[in-house]
Amino acid sequence: PAVVEDISAEIRDLKKKVGATILAHYYQEGEIQELADITGDSLKLAREATKVESPVIVFCGVLFMAETAKMLNPKKKVLLPDPKAGCSLVDSCPPDKLARYQEMLRENGRKFQTVTYINSSAKVKALSDWVVTSGNAEDVVRNMVPAEYEILFVPDQHLGRYLQEVTGRPMILWNGSCMVHEIFSVQDLLKMKKQHPGAKTLAHPECPANVLGHADYVGGTEAMIKYVEGYAEPTTFIVATEPNMLWQLERRTPRHTFLPVPGITCACNKCPHMALNTLEKIRDCLLNGSPEITWQPEFDKAKDVLARSLLNPP
Ligand code: 13P
Ligand code: SF4
């Protein structure tokens, strides 16, 4: 803790000197969320990035999030403490493979629009009609994709299947998944529900149907916060999402008790990509002015898809 305090103080100093705003996703360690100027889910962070006035943004999250911040506020210098912080969903959808699949659908006379989860590369976004997050996906599918089109939903099959169910719109699903949400232990979840009969279960829509089927509430991370805030009395919540989310939930609503669902192979199901960002790397990126997100040719097209999908809500 003394070391954490020292580095945190150093980061606060450097932040002022450099003119930086720190944005952090709810899946970052508590000590990083504590330091951040703004915490949020993917949608809130993307929208907040457009409002940043300081010359530098330090994005504590994964690569696709930092790229999104750069595309939506191109004049800013966007730093990502560890450039290797990727995402299994991004990896599951190579752009050339998607382009070939879209071509095949077109050749077969299918009339479709591509709706892409924000957890994707900029090249994939550039091949898309819409980009969605857990926070606006239902709205976009219901209100922005014209009814005459079929929907090709990429890359998260579980979010896609869930959206199909709640909106009634049939979809062609890509077979990607999140390595964290895919491995929650249903057996442990059922055991926990038995041990805490009054508890409510929250699950992220990146979870497979066999987990979502046992949830009282399905929603992204921002929606989870709103949901638990709606409970005035102290309540126990069993939470099926990345466990750092519990730090934020506990902080917002200390009256409640939050229990993380373990993974099949691990007691604590953390995202290894998010975990690559550390206090030391945040300090170093402020000191060095790198690693920086540089403009890529595919950003030109992807930024328009992002802007019309995320900044003009229906
Ligand atoms: P949200 O916080 O937008 O729900 O996203 C979850 C996630 O897995 C981000 O990588
Ligand atoms: Fe990707 Fe899953 Fe990690 Fe989010 S939690 S960054 S979806 S691997």
What pLDDT, on the 0 to 100 scale, is given for residue 3? 80
| End-to-end Cα, the chain, rounded Å | 45
- Residues of the chain above pLDDT 70, percent: 99
Place of tokens 């239902």: 138
Helix (H) or strand (E) holding 71: helix 63-72
Ligand 2 center–CA 274 separation, angstroms:
7
Task: Give 313's pLDDT tier (boundaries 50, 70, 90).
Answer: low
Ligand 1 center–CA 221 separation, angstroms:
6
What pLDDT, on the 0 to 100 scale, is given for residue 5? 82
pLDDT digits (tens, 9 = 90+) for 63-72: 999 999 999 9
| Residue 42 beta carbon below 6 angstroms from any ligand 1 atom | yes
Segment 116-130 shows an average pLDDT of 98
Q: Where do the domains of the chain lie, and which CATH numbers do they carry?
A: 2-84+273-295 (3.40.50.10800), 90-178 (3.40.50.10800), 181-260 (3.40.50.10800)
Q: Give the pair of three-digit tokens for residue 127.
A: 């091949």
Q: Which of 162, 178, 208, 132 is nearest to 273 (CA)?
A: 178
pLDDT digits (tens, 9 = 90+) for 183-228: 999 999 999 999 999 999 999 999 999 999 999 999 999 999 999 9
What pLDDT, on the 0 to 100 scale, is given for residue 52? 98
| Residue 241 beta carbon below 6 angstroms from any ligand 1 atom | no
Give 305 or 266, the one with higher predicted confidence: 305
Segment 137-143 shows an average pLDDT of 97
Asked if the model's pLDDT at residue 284 lies above 70, the reply is: yes
